[in-house]
Structure 1
Amino acid sequence: MKTNLKKASLLLTGVMIGSKLFAQSTDTSATAKDYVRPFSGGGELRTWSIGVHGGLLTPFTIFGRNSRQDFTNPTEQFGYGGYIKKQILPSLGLQADFLRGKLTSSNSQPDVTGTSPYGSYSTKLNWSAALSANITLANINWRHEKPFVQPYLTAGVGNLNYTPRITPVGGQQENFKKTDNGHINELFIPVGLGLKFDLAPGINLDLGYQVNFVQADNLDGYNHGAGDDRFSYAHIGLEFALGSKKKHQMATHNPVSSMRTEYQWENQRTRTELQQQIDAEKAKNAQLASDLATTNANLAKLTTDSDGDGVVDVNDKCPNTPAGQKVDGSGCPLAKPVVYVTEEDKKVVKDAIKNLEFDLGKATIRAHSLPSLDRVARLLVDKNFSLKLAGHTDNTGSDELNMRLSKDRAESIKAYLVSKGANASRIEATGYGETQPIATNKTAAGRQANRRVEFTLY
């Protein structure tokens, strides 16, 4: 494995050093096509991009030998991830990274007794989220017009959620952490480098290598030595620029080339033509200033809207309209449309009641109930209906507990509908506990029927 990593490192180094890092298109006919007006701001360029990648995860890194790791025989495993990036400057971007995968190795270092306590470990990287700075090199170039290869460096900080499982020598694999299903959250620092190749406008091939420094010594489930754990990730992926295809991606655009083009165009104009344009612009600006002064004087008389209903006072036939009231062109309140509850609307509510389930003894809505609740929320938003939620329980448990549970479940549904855009003021959530049974509480089927939330749409 160590030999493979050395080969990969030599290959990446060879690409960075031996390839033409600053190889660009020298076709001068493309100058106008690649031109972006200097100092025009980010609006002329694509600054958002997303990327996906996959590659090899391993506990071994370029910073040290295998013999110094907690486990001395690391193996490679598949990892994958993605990111979304905002390019702030041509050479600087901020990106939010995501990574998943698995780390494995065997043959732990001897403990204080001089023996190796663990045969192997396997750590699942459940997820990681990090915010990193991405420094792009060589896209600002004074010799060539358009970059083809962009070396880059990254550094950031984030949170890593992982589950280490260790296998004692001669024993069975077990979780290192005995609580929370073995999950551990730790701070980590990702540092990396790589190359991006311009495959097409807005599409880049991404080759990278990243070392992740975990701020803990339990990534492999074995607290050994004085140093924190770390792992590396070598990947290949694609980056896609977001936005109009007519715009250039900031990270691959060379602003120096546009400045040169701007200089050449300016020098093609004669002094007489330039002076004529200046004189014409002065005359136009003077006329615009005069027109603007006249317009502002007239607007000051016509733009007062005392009640804030969007209709100026001179045209407002119904002054002092309450705030938020929708009005017509003369400023008078619009009649509210009459909306009826249809059979189709009732069916949406019935489906939600039928599919509604909570965790046992809790107000937590189960995941399979959410799609039908989403349809109820859409109905409330689209038709501005009102909804009454009535929570009920069977007679198991105390009266106080049942009353609170029924209220909490109704409120839980209300909170979910509001999170999907429904108007909270049009939803009433009430709990009745065990006081309104619809079936006998002496049988399991009856108690099941009594544990319910009733929806009343109006």
Structure 2
Amino acid sequence: MKQQLFKCLPVALAALFVGGAAQAQTQTPASTSATQEFSTWSIGVNAGVLSPLSPLGGKNDFSNWKSSFGYGLSIKKQFTPYFALKLDGIRGKLKGDNSEPYESGQTVTGGNSAYETDLSYAATLSAQVNMFNIDMFRKQDVLQLYLSAGAGLAGYKPTVTDAAGATTDFAGGKSISELVIPVGLGAKFRVSEKINFDLGWSVYFVDGDNLDGTYRNNNSDKFNYAHAGLEFALGKGKQLAYHNPVAATYDEAVAAKQLAGSLKSDLDNQKAENAKLRSEMDDLLKDSDGDGVADKLDKCPGTPGNTVVDGAGCPLVTPKPVEKVIITEEDRRVVRDAIKNLEFDLGKATIRSKSFPTLNRVANLLVTKNFSLKLAGHTDNTGSAALNMRLSKERAESVKAYLVSQGVNASRVEATGYGLTQPIATNKTAAGRQKNRRVEFTLY
């Protein structure tokens, strides 16, 4: 078993580094609020007390144990907030004698009277499990409780003293290697973003009865190590060991609920605005007698059906003969000026007053030269397609209604809405969207 463990321990160490490298390659760097980069590697230094006994059962070979100074190093890879693999190494001395009886009152006679063991190393690979975060509503806690268990090798040289006071090296002074199984618990405090204070206690079960250089009581030897130390987190980001997924999920749920409430409020406001806009447009474009002139502009309401009316909604007594005319460059300039200066209230079909002078020149052009005009309304892609189609139609109709109010024959003006279907520029910029919100004039 010892030879196999010698072979397996380097493999376990290699697996610790390879597994960490593989996880680092697959981890997505922090790019959004939903993805976060964490620090998963750490190194530690510690010092404490080595004692050659265990409170977990079994009788020690010597009745009186003594505490000695010990120290160690560690390397840890955190795979999840709750699980890590930790490579530990400790050194120190273990001492005991029979100067006092056992707690049962039994005294030890004969054989070795004392020993001192130089623990050259105890190298172990352990799984460490974080029990829980103290506050489930904090994403980064400061206190952590953990349990650990693993396996490894210990190398040591016992020196024994017999009843006559003679001191000898056990096993001829050669170093002994044995399998050890550490079981421990501890508490860790985060004192800064990259430094932790660690308090721990571990019991090492030795696969042999030679740690104290004495075969007695027919049981394997044990020792324990109580330590305090500092752990230093490596790399960027917060420590994964202190990350609380429960609290993070709770925060995300709260944020999602707040966002949903905000979106619902915006939707309700938009619906109310749309309803108001529809009401205003219905009132503006209402034509009770169907003569093509809105009631607000109709000076002769109640005109019979199929009656040809003028721009004021009154019947034409003698239709003017149609004259063939030629559209000049000056005529086109008048139309271009009207298009350039045409503005509406935001999200409405109400024409702003600054547009009236150029529209008046278009109206005069249509009346004096007997032209016909096609109005084509267009919008950008803000809002739904149905809303934009309706708004474009209503804006074209609004321009028609104004021209008719200035004396233009309603039958000579055609108003059509195309919504967002015919952009002339990109909708990804404010300037592009401004160009797409337009009403085109076509003389014929």
Give the TM-score of the pair, scaled to structure 1. Answer: 0.47
Which has more radius of gyration? 2
